[in-house]
Amino acid sequence: MSDVRRQSRSVQIGDAVIGGGAPISVQSMTNTDTRDVRATVAQIRRLKKAGCRMVRVAVPDESAAQAIYKIKRAAKIPVVADIHFDYRLALIALESGADKLRINPGNIGAAANVKKVARAAKERRVPIRIGANAGSIDRKIYGEPTAVSLAASAIDQAKMLEDIGFHDIVLSMKAFDVPMTIEAYRIAAEKTDYPLHLGVTETGLPWEGAIRSAVGIGALLAEGIGDTLRVSLTGDPVEEVRVGYEILAALDLYTPSLTLIACPTCGRCNIDISALATEVRRRVGKMKLPRPIKIAIMGCSVNGPGEAAMADVGIAGGKGFGLLFSHGKPLRKVDEAEIVNELVKEVERFESDTQSKN
């Protein structure tokens, strides 16, 4: 893992910052009809609660572009307007208060139209993400999608904006193909200093999609590349945000309030780890934790005591009981039926001990 993050420009999106060393933000996209303001705002509120820092909405027509005005007022989160085919929708979205535009170089039309959009965005200090996508790359110019052509299409479009003095640019180069995606970002990271929005596209249902995204986005983040990310999953976008944070947490780029370490179980396992871990996550997840906590739930005495001792609070399973640990020290044996209650009590004690020490 690289200790050095790629240096990028900083771009302001509403009250959020992408690039320039800002924390890597997790974003998502609504899958409601943008014209249905009530449903869209309800979904955005759930996304916000899950930690989504900015949200993209599809703008398929004029009414959707106009709806951004009400959505922004109600949702109070930076809103990114996703525009395809018709540059005039970008102009309306800007008038409606969009905090950022996402346009696709493959389908937005003539250069003159792109420039019109950039001028209007510049007046309002609204950044533009150039989102190249393997599925819509202009094949007449770039041929078959490859890492090189994907990066080139995004960089060429950025140059077009630079020519008119527009530099508030974020780049993305997404493909379903993970190696192609990784390589395209590496090229753009080398050739530009624009902040990079990471993502692997059309990854599918949550299980497969989370894995494909974690591999692609995770590989780039481990190299120090990437300033913001969106995990694309089919289904509830709140899952995208959760997966995004898990990717960041796995690379120590984010510290969640609860880190749960649970052993995979094997033939030596003495207690029901899956049920215990699920219940502990549910109960501790509801608690207001003043500082992040690591909880280990381990099945036996092989790795259990070691892992449990390294966590803030932990349990190592025995036959019908668990050995409870806190602050790295064994405390006492508790009956299997009482493990969750005792663990939760220890979490409360750990948090109040830590608070009183600070």
Point out which residues bind ligand SF4 (CB under 6 A): 263-266, 268-269, 298-300, 302-304
Cβ-based nearer residue to ligand SF4, 165 or 267 = 267
Smallest distance from ligand SF4 to CB 252, Å:
23
Burial of 41 (0-12, 13-18, 19+ CB in 10 A): buried
Cβ-based nearer residue to ligand SF4, 118 or 280 = 280
Cβ-based nearer residue to ligand SF4, 196 or 324 = 324
Cβ-based nearer residue to ligand SF4, 258 or 302 = 302
Smallest distance from ligand SF4 to CB 266, Å:
3
Strands 25-29 and 16-18: unpaired
Cβ-based nearer residue to ligand SF4, 222 or 260 = 260
- Give the Cα separation of 210 and 203 in Å (integer): 8
- Give the Cα separation of 278 and 263 in Å (integer): 13
Smallest distance from ligand SF4 to CB 303, Å:
4
- Are residues 193 and 9 in contact, defined by beta-carbon separation less than 8 angstroms? yes
Smallest distance from ligand SF4 to CB 317, Å:
7
- Are residues 6 and 224 in contact, defined by beta-carbon separation less than 8 angstroms? yes
Smallest distance from ligand SF4 to CB 126, Å:
52
Cβ-based nearer residue to ligand SF4, 269 or 309 = 269
Smallest distance from ligand SF4 to CB 339, Å:
15
Burial of 354 (0-12, 13-18, 19+ CB in 10 A): middle
Q: What angle do CA 251, 187, 248 make, to 5 degrees?
A: 15
- Give the Cα separation of 297 and 241 in Å (integer): 25
